[in-house]
Amino acid sequence: MKAICFYFQIHQPFRLKRYRFFDIGNDHYYYDDFANDDIITRIAHQSYIPAAETLLRMIEDSGRKFKCAISISGVALEQIEMYVPELLDILKKLVATGCVEILAETYAHSLSSLADPDEFANQVKVHDEKVHELFGVRPKVLRNTELIYCDDLAPQILAMGYKGVITEGAKHILGWKSPNYVYAAASAPKLKMLLKNDKLSDDITFRFSNTNWSEYPLTADKYIGWIADTPAEEQIFNLFMTLETFGELQNRQSGIFQFLEALPRFAAERGVEFITPTEAVSKIKVVAELGIPFPISWADEARDTSAWLGNQLQKEAFDKLYSVAERVRLCDDRRLKQDWYYLQASDHFFYMSTKHQADGEIHSLYSPYDSPYQAFTNYMNVLADFIVRVEEQYPLSIENEELNSLLTTIRNQAREIETLNKEVSSMRLNIEHYNEEHALREKAAAAKAAADAAEGDAAEDVATPAEAAPAAETEAKPAKKPRAKKAAPKKATAKKK
Protein backbone atom coordinates (compact mmCIF):
# COMPACT_ATOMS: atom_id res chain seq x y z
CA MET A 1 0.00 0.00 0.00
CA LYS A 2 1.23 3.48 -0.85
CA ALA A 3 1.67 5.97 1.96
CA ILE A 4 1.91 9.74 2.29
CA CYS A 5 4.23 11.18 4.92
CA PHE A 6 3.35 14.82 5.59
CA TYR A 7 5.75 17.04 7.51
CA PHE A 8 5.03 20.70 8.32
CA GLN A 9 7.56 23.24 9.60
CA ILE A 10 6.89 26.09 12.06
CA HIS A 11 9.68 28.60 12.60
CA GLN A 12 10.00 32.30 13.34
CA PRO A 13 13.29 33.97 14.35
CA PHE A 14 13.77 36.72 16.89
CA ARG A 15 14.26 39.60 14.44
CA LEU A 16 16.84 42.23 15.31
CA LYS A 17 16.08 45.89 15.84
CA ARG A 18 18.08 48.58 14.04
CA TYR A 19 21.36 48.51 15.93
CA ARG A 20 23.87 51.28 15.21
CA PHE A 21 27.63 51.26 15.58
CA PHE A 22 27.34 53.70 18.49
CA ASP A 23 25.12 51.24 20.38
CA ILE A 24 28.01 48.79 20.72
CA GLY A 25 28.99 48.54 24.37
CA ASN A 26 25.98 50.59 25.48
CA ASP A 27 22.88 48.64 24.49
CA HIS A 28 22.77 44.91 25.12
CA TYR A 29 19.19 44.28 23.99
CA TYR A 30 19.05 43.46 20.29
CA TYR A 31 15.49 42.49 19.37
CA ASP A 32 12.54 44.17 17.71
CA ASP A 33 9.82 43.06 20.10
CA PHE A 34 7.06 44.88 18.25
CA ALA A 35 7.90 43.27 14.90
CA ASN A 36 8.31 39.82 16.44
CA ASP A 37 4.96 40.06 18.23
CA ASP A 38 3.20 41.48 15.17
CA ILE A 39 4.56 38.96 12.66
CA ILE A 40 4.00 35.75 14.60
CA THR A 41 0.57 36.89 15.79
CA ARG A 42 -0.51 37.77 12.25
CA ILE A 43 0.83 34.55 10.72
CA ALA A 44 -0.59 32.45 13.56
CA HIS A 45 -4.12 33.76 13.04
CA GLN A 46 -3.84 33.78 9.27
CA SER A 47 -2.08 30.45 8.83
CA TYR A 48 -0.86 28.38 11.79
CA ILE A 49 -4.09 28.28 13.81
CA PRO A 50 -6.54 27.60 10.94
CA ALA A 51 -4.11 25.03 9.49
CA ALA A 52 -3.75 23.27 12.86
CA GLU A 53 -7.53 23.28 13.34
CA THR A 54 -7.90 21.80 9.85
CA LEU A 55 -5.42 19.03 10.69
CA LEU A 56 -7.36 18.29 13.88
CA ARG A 57 -10.61 17.93 11.93
CA MET A 58 -8.90 15.72 9.36
CA ILE A 59 -7.74 13.39 12.13
CA GLU A 60 -11.18 13.20 13.71
CA ASP A 61 -13.15 12.90 10.44
CA SER A 62 -10.87 10.13 9.14
CA GLY A 63 -11.20 8.07 12.30
CA ARG A 64 -7.60 8.93 13.16
CA LYS A 65 -6.29 7.48 9.92
CA PHE A 66 -4.80 10.80 8.87
CA LYS A 67 -1.31 11.26 10.32
CA CYS A 68 1.47 13.79 9.91
CA ALA A 69 4.57 15.29 11.54
CA ILE A 70 5.33 18.81 12.71
CA SER A 71 8.67 20.37 13.55
CA ILE A 72 8.80 23.56 15.62
CA SER A 73 12.06 25.35 16.34
CA GLY A 74 12.84 26.23 19.95
CA VAL A 75 12.87 29.97 19.23
CA ALA A 76 9.45 29.65 17.59
CA LEU A 77 8.11 27.77 20.62
CA GLU A 78 9.31 30.61 22.85
CA GLN A 79 7.45 33.18 20.75
CA ILE A 80 4.32 31.04 20.62
CA GLU A 81 4.35 30.82 24.42
CA MET A 82 4.79 34.59 24.71
CA TYR A 83 2.51 35.92 21.98
CA VAL A 84 0.03 33.25 20.82
CA PRO A 85 -0.46 30.66 23.58
CA GLU A 86 -3.77 29.66 21.98
CA LEU A 87 -1.75 28.12 19.12
CA LEU A 88 0.22 26.07 21.63
CA ASP A 89 -3.05 24.70 23.04
CA ILE A 90 -4.12 23.47 19.59
CA LEU A 91 -0.70 21.93 18.94
CA LYS A 92 -0.95 20.06 22.23
CA LYS A 93 -4.35 18.72 21.17
CA LEU A 94 -2.85 17.51 17.90
CA VAL A 95 -0.03 15.67 19.66
CA ALA A 96 -2.49 14.19 22.18
CA THR A 97 -4.35 12.43 19.34
CA GLY A 98 -1.34 10.19 18.78
CA CYS A 99 -1.55 10.96 15.07
CA VAL A 100 0.91 13.87 15.02
CA GLU A 101 4.63 13.32 15.56
CA ILE A 102 6.97 16.07 16.75
CA LEU A 103 10.38 16.01 15.09
CA ALA A 104 13.76 16.89 16.58
CA GLU A 105 15.80 19.81 15.29
CA THR A 106 18.23 22.48 16.47
CA TYR A 107 16.75 24.73 19.14
CA ALA A 108 17.83 27.95 17.40
CA HIS A 109 17.10 26.80 13.84
CA SER A 110 20.83 27.24 13.41
CA LEU A 111 23.60 26.25 11.01
CA SER A 112 25.60 24.72 13.86
CA SER A 113 25.79 21.35 12.07
CA LEU A 114 28.05 23.05 9.50
CA ALA A 115 30.35 24.65 12.07
CA ASP A 116 30.45 22.95 15.45
CA PRO A 117 29.39 19.34 16.17
CA ASP A 118 29.30 19.97 19.92
CA GLU A 119 27.01 22.97 19.51
CA PHE A 120 24.80 20.99 17.13
CA ALA A 121 24.43 18.13 19.61
CA ASN A 122 23.77 20.52 22.47
CA GLN A 123 21.05 22.41 20.60
CA VAL A 124 19.27 19.24 19.53
CA LYS A 125 19.33 18.09 23.16
CA VAL A 126 17.95 21.42 24.41
CA HIS A 127 15.20 21.28 21.78
CA ASP A 128 14.37 17.71 22.76
CA GLU A 129 13.93 18.83 26.39
CA LYS A 130 11.72 21.73 25.33
CA VAL A 131 9.49 19.42 23.30
CA HIS A 132 9.23 16.99 26.20
CA GLU A 133 8.40 19.83 28.60
CA LEU A 134 5.56 21.17 26.43
CA PHE A 135 4.19 18.04 24.74
CA GLY A 136 5.32 15.14 26.91
CA VAL A 137 6.96 13.25 24.03
CA ARG A 138 10.51 12.51 22.88
CA PRO A 139 11.32 12.96 19.16
CA LYS A 140 12.63 9.87 17.37
CA VAL A 141 13.35 11.32 13.93
CA LEU A 142 15.52 14.37 13.29
CA ARG A 143 14.91 17.18 10.86
CA ASN A 144 17.96 19.43 10.68
CA THR A 145 17.64 23.15 9.94
CA GLU A 146 16.35 23.66 6.38
CA LEU A 147 16.77 19.90 5.81
CA ILE A 148 20.57 20.32 5.77
CA TYR A 149 22.28 16.93 5.63
CA CYS A 150 25.47 15.20 4.49
CA ASP A 151 27.30 11.95 5.21
CA ASP A 152 29.41 13.56 7.95
CA LEU A 153 26.29 14.14 10.06
CA ALA A 154 24.85 10.62 9.89
CA PRO A 155 27.09 8.91 12.53
CA GLN A 156 26.48 11.74 14.98
CA ILE A 157 22.71 11.71 14.43
CA LEU A 158 22.63 7.94 14.94
CA ALA A 159 24.79 8.22 18.07
CA MET A 160 22.31 10.75 19.45
CA GLY A 161 19.66 8.03 19.38
CA TYR A 162 17.52 8.96 16.37
CA LYS A 163 16.04 6.31 14.11
CA GLY A 164 15.83 8.43 11.01
CA VAL A 165 16.59 11.76 9.37
CA ILE A 166 14.58 13.89 6.97
CA THR A 167 16.29 15.65 4.08
CA GLU A 168 15.85 16.93 0.53
CA GLY A 169 15.44 14.61 -2.43
CA ALA A 170 17.90 16.67 -4.46
CA LYS A 171 18.09 15.72 -8.12
CA HIS A 172 21.88 16.09 -8.31
CA ILE A 173 22.15 13.52 -5.50
CA LEU A 174 19.47 11.05 -6.58
CA GLY A 175 20.23 11.05 -10.30
CA TRP A 176 18.02 8.30 -11.75
CA LYS A 177 16.82 7.17 -8.30
CA SER A 178 13.38 8.03 -6.94
CA PRO A 179 12.74 9.83 -3.62
CA ASN A 180 9.73 7.56 -3.06
CA TYR A 181 11.66 4.93 -1.09
CA VAL A 182 13.31 4.62 2.30
CA TYR A 183 17.10 4.78 2.08
CA ALA A 184 19.91 4.09 4.56
CA ALA A 185 22.73 6.54 5.23
CA ALA A 186 25.93 5.36 3.54
CA SER A 187 28.09 6.49 6.47
CA ALA A 188 25.76 4.99 9.10
CA PRO A 189 23.56 2.26 7.55
CA LYS A 190 21.39 1.92 10.66
CA LEU A 191 20.14 5.47 10.15
CA LYS A 192 17.11 5.58 7.82
CA MET A 193 16.57 8.47 5.40
CA LEU A 194 13.30 10.01 4.21
CA LEU A 195 13.70 12.18 1.11
CA LYS A 196 11.37 15.01 0.19
CA ASN A 197 9.42 14.55 -3.05
CA ASP A 198 10.39 17.89 -4.50
CA LYS A 199 7.80 18.10 -7.28
CA LEU A 200 4.73 17.02 -5.32
CA SER A 201 5.66 19.22 -2.35
CA ASP A 202 6.24 22.33 -4.47
CA ASP A 203 3.00 21.72 -6.38
CA ILE A 204 1.23 22.64 -3.14
CA THR A 205 3.69 25.19 -1.73
CA PHE A 206 4.40 27.30 -4.81
CA ARG A 207 2.19 26.28 -7.74
CA PHE A 208 -1.21 25.69 -6.16
CA SER A 209 -2.70 29.09 -7.07
CA ASN A 210 -0.57 29.79 -10.15
CA THR A 211 -3.08 30.28 -12.94
CA ASN A 212 -0.32 29.92 -15.56
CA TRP A 213 0.54 26.42 -14.34
CA SER A 214 -0.50 23.70 -16.76
CA GLU A 215 -2.12 21.67 -13.95
CA TYR A 216 -4.12 24.57 -12.52
CA PRO A 217 -6.50 24.19 -10.75
CA LEU A 218 -5.09 21.51 -8.48
CA THR A 219 -7.80 19.42 -6.80
CA ALA A 220 -7.50 16.81 -4.06
CA ASP A 221 -8.68 13.93 -6.25
CA LYS A 222 -6.24 14.87 -9.04
CA TYR A 223 -3.36 15.13 -6.58
CA ILE A 224 -4.09 11.77 -4.92
CA GLY A 225 -4.49 10.28 -8.40
CA TRP A 226 -0.93 11.27 -9.28
CA ILE A 227 0.32 9.38 -6.22
CA ALA A 228 -1.89 6.33 -6.71
CA ASP A 229 -0.86 5.98 -10.36
CA THR A 230 2.89 5.78 -9.68
CA PRO A 231 4.72 2.43 -10.10
CA ALA A 232 3.59 -0.16 -7.56
CA GLU A 233 7.04 -0.52 -5.99
CA GLU A 234 7.15 3.16 -4.98
CA GLN A 235 5.74 3.05 -1.46
CA ILE A 236 6.23 6.39 0.30
CA PHE A 237 5.66 9.98 -0.78
CA ASN A 238 7.30 12.51 1.50
CA LEU A 239 5.51 15.84 1.30
CA PHE A 240 7.53 18.36 3.27
CA MET A 241 6.59 22.04 3.51
CA THR A 242 6.25 24.98 5.87
CA LEU A 243 2.89 25.28 7.61
CA GLU A 244 2.76 28.87 6.31
CA THR A 245 1.88 27.33 2.95
CA PHE A 246 -1.69 27.23 4.19
CA GLY A 247 -3.09 30.73 4.57
CA GLU A 248 0.14 32.70 4.06
CA LEU A 249 1.95 31.56 0.89
CA GLN A 250 -1.36 30.32 -0.48
CA ASN A 251 -4.16 32.51 0.86
CA ARG A 252 -7.49 31.25 2.12
CA GLN A 253 -9.31 32.50 -1.00
CA SER A 254 -7.27 30.09 -3.14
CA GLY A 255 -9.12 27.14 -1.60
CA ILE A 256 -5.96 25.71 -0.04
CA PHE A 257 -7.67 24.70 3.22
CA GLN A 258 -10.48 22.88 1.40
CA PHE A 259 -7.87 21.11 -0.72
CA LEU A 260 -5.97 19.95 2.37
CA GLU A 261 -9.09 18.80 4.22
CA ALA A 262 -10.32 16.74 1.25
CA LEU A 263 -7.10 14.71 0.89
CA PRO A 264 -7.92 11.90 3.40
CA ARG A 265 -11.25 11.11 1.73
CA PHE A 266 -9.77 10.72 -1.75
CA ALA A 267 -6.74 8.88 -0.35
CA ALA A 268 -9.03 6.31 1.27
CA GLU A 269 -10.87 5.82 -2.03
CA ARG A 270 -7.59 5.10 -3.84
CA GLY A 271 -6.07 2.91 -1.12
CA VAL A 272 -3.44 5.44 -0.04
CA GLU A 273 -2.67 5.75 3.68
CA PHE A 274 -0.95 8.36 5.84
CA ILE A 275 1.97 7.56 8.13
CA THR A 276 4.36 9.40 10.43
CA PRO A 277 8.14 9.50 9.84
CA THR A 278 8.78 7.08 12.71
CA GLU A 279 6.28 4.61 11.25
CA ALA A 280 7.92 5.01 7.84
CA VAL A 281 11.45 4.20 9.02
CA SER A 282 10.15 1.35 11.20
CA LYS A 283 7.80 -0.38 8.76
CA ILE A 284 9.08 0.28 5.25
CA LYS A 285 12.03 -1.72 4.03
CA VAL A 286 15.22 0.06 2.99
CA VAL A 287 15.99 -0.33 -0.72
CA ALA A 288 19.59 0.91 -0.78
CA GLU A 289 22.23 3.02 0.89
CA LEU A 290 22.55 6.62 -0.25
CA GLY A 291 25.71 8.70 -0.01
CA ILE A 292 25.59 12.49 0.19
CA PRO A 293 29.18 13.77 0.33
CA PHE A 294 28.36 17.49 0.41
CA PRO A 295 25.69 19.34 2.42
CA ILE A 296 22.29 19.66 0.77
CA SER A 297 19.16 21.54 1.83
CA TRP A 298 15.66 22.32 0.59
CA ALA A 299 16.43 25.99 -0.16
CA ASP A 300 16.83 27.71 -3.53
CA GLU A 301 17.32 26.07 -6.90
CA ALA A 302 20.78 24.76 -6.01
CA ARG A 303 19.47 22.79 -3.02
CA ASP A 304 22.73 23.41 -1.17
CA THR A 305 23.86 25.77 1.61
CA SER A 306 24.48 28.79 -0.64
CA ALA A 307 21.29 30.43 0.63
CA TRP A 308 23.15 31.13 3.91
CA LEU A 309 26.84 30.80 3.05
CA GLY A 310 26.96 31.76 -0.62
CA ASN A 311 28.81 35.09 -0.40
CA GLN A 312 31.61 36.72 1.59
CA LEU A 313 29.24 38.71 3.77
CA GLN A 314 27.55 35.56 4.99
CA LYS A 315 30.80 33.66 5.49
CA GLU A 316 32.41 36.49 7.46
CA ALA A 317 29.40 36.80 9.78
CA PHE A 318 29.19 33.01 10.16
CA ASP A 319 32.89 32.60 11.01
CA LYS A 320 32.82 35.52 13.43
CA LEU A 321 29.81 34.11 15.27
CA TYR A 322 31.20 30.61 15.74
CA SER A 323 34.67 31.88 16.70
CA VAL A 324 33.34 32.35 20.24
CA ALA A 325 31.27 29.15 20.38
CA GLU A 326 33.50 27.32 22.83
CA ARG A 327 33.69 30.29 25.20
CA VAL A 328 29.94 30.76 25.23
CA ARG A 329 29.43 27.08 26.02
CA LEU A 330 31.78 27.44 28.98
CA CYS A 331 29.87 30.34 30.50
CA ASP A 332 26.93 30.15 32.88
CA ASP A 333 25.39 33.53 32.05
CA ARG A 334 21.75 32.77 31.18
CA ARG A 335 21.20 36.00 29.22
CA LEU A 336 24.39 35.53 27.21
CA LYS A 337 23.39 31.99 26.28
CA GLN A 338 19.91 33.14 25.29
CA ASP A 339 21.38 35.75 22.93
CA TRP A 340 23.75 33.09 21.62
CA TYR A 341 20.80 30.97 20.53
CA TYR A 342 18.87 33.86 19.02
CA LEU A 343 21.86 35.11 17.00
CA GLN A 344 22.45 31.65 15.50
CA ALA A 345 19.12 31.54 13.65
CA SER A 346 19.79 30.79 9.99
CA ASP A 347 17.44 33.61 8.98
CA HIS A 348 20.05 36.27 9.80
CA PHE A 349 22.37 34.79 7.16
CA PHE A 350 19.49 34.23 4.74
CA TYR A 351 18.79 37.99 4.76
CA MET A 352 22.40 38.64 3.62
CA SER A 353 22.01 36.68 0.38
CA THR A 354 22.87 38.59 -2.79
CA LYS A 355 21.19 36.13 -5.16
CA HIS A 356 19.02 37.40 -8.00
CA GLN A 357 16.03 36.23 -10.06
CA ALA A 358 13.69 33.68 -8.47
CA ASP A 359 15.94 32.90 -5.50
CA GLY A 360 16.51 36.60 -4.89
CA GLU A 361 12.77 37.24 -4.81
CA ILE A 362 12.28 34.62 -2.10
CA HIS A 363 15.08 36.10 0.02
CA SER A 364 13.66 39.62 -0.36
CA LEU A 365 10.16 38.40 0.50
CA TYR A 366 11.21 37.26 3.96
CA SER A 367 13.84 39.90 4.75
CA PRO A 368 12.98 42.87 7.01
CA TYR A 369 15.92 44.82 5.51
CA ASP A 370 16.13 47.00 2.42
CA SER A 371 19.25 45.20 1.19
CA PRO A 372 21.57 42.33 2.12
CA TYR A 373 24.26 44.89 2.97
CA GLN A 374 22.02 46.53 5.53
CA ALA A 375 21.29 43.09 6.97
CA PHE A 376 25.02 42.39 7.22
CA THR A 377 25.89 45.74 8.84
CA ASN A 378 23.12 45.50 11.41
CA TYR A 379 23.99 41.91 12.33
CA MET A 380 27.71 42.62 12.63
CA ASN A 381 27.04 45.58 14.95
CA VAL A 382 24.96 43.32 17.20
CA LEU A 383 27.56 40.57 17.00
CA ALA A 384 30.34 43.03 17.94
CA ASP A 385 28.51 43.96 21.14
CA PHE A 386 27.81 40.31 21.89
CA ILE A 387 31.49 39.41 21.53
CA VAL A 388 32.45 42.31 23.83
CA ARG A 389 30.19 40.78 26.49
CA VAL A 390 31.78 37.36 25.96
CA GLU A 391 35.27 38.86 26.28
CA GLU A 392 34.29 40.59 29.53
CA GLN A 393 33.71 37.17 31.02
CA TYR A 394 36.49 35.31 29.21
CA PRO A 395 39.24 37.60 27.77
CA LEU A 396 40.65 36.62 24.40
CA SER A 397 44.15 36.92 25.89
CA ILE A 398 43.48 33.53 27.48
CA GLU A 399 43.61 30.67 24.99
CA ASN A 400 40.63 28.36 24.77
CA GLU A 401 42.59 25.36 26.07
CA GLU A 402 43.96 27.32 29.03
CA LEU A 403 40.53 28.77 29.73
CA ASN A 404 38.94 25.36 29.51
CA SER A 405 41.56 23.96 31.90
CA LEU A 406 40.98 26.78 34.41
CA LEU A 407 37.22 26.40 34.22
CA THR A 408 37.52 22.63 34.58
CA THR A 409 39.60 23.14 37.73
CA ILE A 410 37.09 25.64 39.08
CA ARG A 411 34.17 23.33 38.34
CA ASN A 412 35.96 20.35 39.88
CA GLN A 413 36.58 22.41 43.00
CA ALA A 414 32.97 23.50 42.99
CA ARG A 415 31.87 19.86 42.77
CA GLU A 416 34.26 18.96 45.60
CA ILE A 417 32.87 21.79 47.73
CA GLU A 418 29.36 20.61 46.91
CA THR A 419 30.31 17.07 47.97
CA LEU A 420 31.80 18.33 51.24
CA ASN A 421 28.73 20.46 51.87
CA LYS A 422 26.58 17.38 51.38
CA GLU A 423 28.74 15.47 53.87
CA VAL A 424 28.46 18.33 56.39
CA SER A 425 24.70 18.43 55.88
CA SER A 426 24.56 14.67 56.37
CA MET A 427 26.59 14.93 59.59
CA ARG A 428 24.33 17.69 60.83
CA LEU A 429 21.30 15.55 60.18
CA ASN A 430 22.93 12.64 62.02
CA ILE A 431 23.76 14.88 64.99
CA GLU A 432 20.23 16.27 65.04
CA HIS A 433 18.87 12.74 64.85
CA TYR A 434 21.16 11.63 67.70
CA ASN A 435 20.14 14.63 69.82
CA GLU A 436 16.49 13.90 69.19
CA GLU A 437 16.95 10.24 70.18
CA HIS A 438 18.98 11.24 73.27
CA ALA A 439 16.30 13.72 74.30
CA LEU A 440 13.62 11.07 73.80
CA ARG A 441 15.60 8.56 75.90
CA GLU A 442 16.07 11.10 78.70
CA LYS A 443 12.42 11.99 78.55
CA ALA A 444 11.47 8.31 78.68
CA ALA A 445 13.82 7.71 81.64
CA ALA A 446 12.41 10.71 83.49
CA ALA A 447 8.89 9.52 82.81
CA LYS A 448 9.76 6.03 84.08
CA ALA A 449 11.35 7.43 87.24
CA ALA A 450 8.30 9.56 87.86
CA ALA A 451 6.06 6.56 87.32
CA ASP A 452 8.10 4.44 89.74
CA ALA A 453 7.99 7.16 92.38
CA ALA A 454 4.27 7.54 91.97
CA GLU A 455 3.82 3.77 92.30
CA GLY A 456 5.88 3.74 95.53
CA ASP A 457 3.80 6.53 97.04
CA ALA A 458 0.63 4.71 96.16
CA ALA A 459 1.91 1.53 97.82
CA GLU A 460 2.69 3.40 101.06
CA ASP A 461 -0.76 4.95 101.03
CA VAL A 462 -2.37 1.51 100.81
CA ALA A 463 -0.15 -0.11 103.51
CA THR A 464 -0.60 2.53 106.31
CA PRO A 465 -4.33 1.92 107.10
CA ALA A 466 -3.80 -1.82 107.37
CA GLU A 467 -0.97 -1.44 109.81
CA ALA A 468 -2.71 1.24 111.86
CA ALA A 469 -5.96 -0.75 112.37
CA PRO A 470 -4.64 -3.36 114.86
CA ALA A 471 -3.01 -0.66 116.92
CA ALA A 472 -6.20 1.33 117.09
CA GLU A 473 -8.14 -1.77 118.05
CA THR A 474 -5.66 -2.51 120.85
CA GLU A 475 -6.08 0.95 122.24
CA ALA A 476 -9.87 0.67 122.20
CA LYS A 477 -10.12 -2.62 124.23
CA PRO A 478 -9.52 -2.50 128.08
CA ALA A 479 -6.56 -4.39 129.27
CA LYS A 480 -7.40 -7.86 130.55
CA LYS A 481 -6.31 -8.95 134.04
CA PRO A 482 -3.94 -11.79 133.95
CA ARG A 483 -5.61 -15.07 134.97
CA ALA A 484 -4.48 -16.88 138.19
CA LYS A 485 -2.78 -20.08 137.61
CA LYS A 486 -4.91 -23.13 138.49
CA ALA A 487 -3.53 -25.57 141.05
CA ALA A 488 -2.35 -28.68 139.61
CA PRO A 489 -4.85 -31.49 140.23
CA LYS A 490 -3.95 -33.85 143.06
CA LYS A 491 -3.29 -37.32 142.12
CA ALA A 492 -5.96 -39.67 143.41
CA THR A 493 -4.68 -42.26 145.91
CA ALA A 494 -6.21 -45.63 146.07
CA LYS A 495 -8.08 -46.36 149.33
CA LYS A 496 -6.75 -49.22 151.25
CA LYS A 497 -9.25 -51.64 152.16
Contact 31, 14 (CB under 8 A): yes
Half-sphere CA count of 334, side-chain side, radius 13 A: 0
Residues annotated as catalytic are 146
Contact 184, 155 (CB under 8 A): no
Contact 345, 13 (CB under 8 A): yes
**Distance between CA atoms of residues 142 and 146, nearest Å:** 12
3-class SS letters over the chain:
CCEEEEEEEECCCCCECCCCHHHCCCCCCCECHHHHHHHHHHHHHHHHHHHHHHHHHHHHHCCCCCCEEEEECHHHHHHHHHHCHHHHHHHHHHHHCCCEEECECCCCCECHHHCCHHHHHHHHHHHHHHHHHHHCCCCCEEECHHHCECHHHHHHHHHCCCCEEEEECCHHHHCCCCCCCEEEECCEEEEEEEEECHHHHHHHHCCCCCCCCCCCCCCHHHHHHHHHCCCCCCCEEEEEEEHHHECCCECHHHCHHHHHHHHHHHHHHCCCEECCHHHHHHHCCEEEEECCCCCECCCCCCCCCHHHHCCHHHHHHHHHHHCCHHHHHHCCCHHHHHHHHHHCECHHHHCCCCCCHHHHHHHHHHCCCCCHHHHHHHHHHHHHHHHHHHHHHCCCCCCHHHHHHHHHHHHHHHHHHHHHHHHHHHHHHHHHHHHHHHHHHHHHHHHHHHHHHHHHHHHHHHHHHHHHHHHHHHHHCCCCCCCCCCCCCCCCCCCCC
